[in-house]
Amino acid sequence: MSLAAKSTRTFSLDKQLLDEIKRTKGSLSESKRVNDLLHVALEREKREALESEIAGFFASAPSGHAEREAFESSTAISWARE
- Model pLDDT for residues 26-81, shown as the tens digit of each residue: 999 999 999 999 999 999 999 999 999 888 887 776 666 777 777 777 776 666 66
Domain residue extents for the chain: 15-81
CA 25-31-33 angle, to 5 degrees, is 35
User: What is residue 56's predicted lDDT score, i.e. its pLDDT?
Assistant: 85
Q: What is the pLDDT of residue 60?
A: 73
Distance in angstroms (rounded) separating the CA atoms of residues 70 and 61: 10
Closest CA to 34 of 46, 49, 45, 18: 18
Per-position b or e across 20-42, b if 16+ CB within 10 A of its CB: ebeeebeeeeeeebbeeeeeeee
Q: pTM for the full model?
A: 0.62
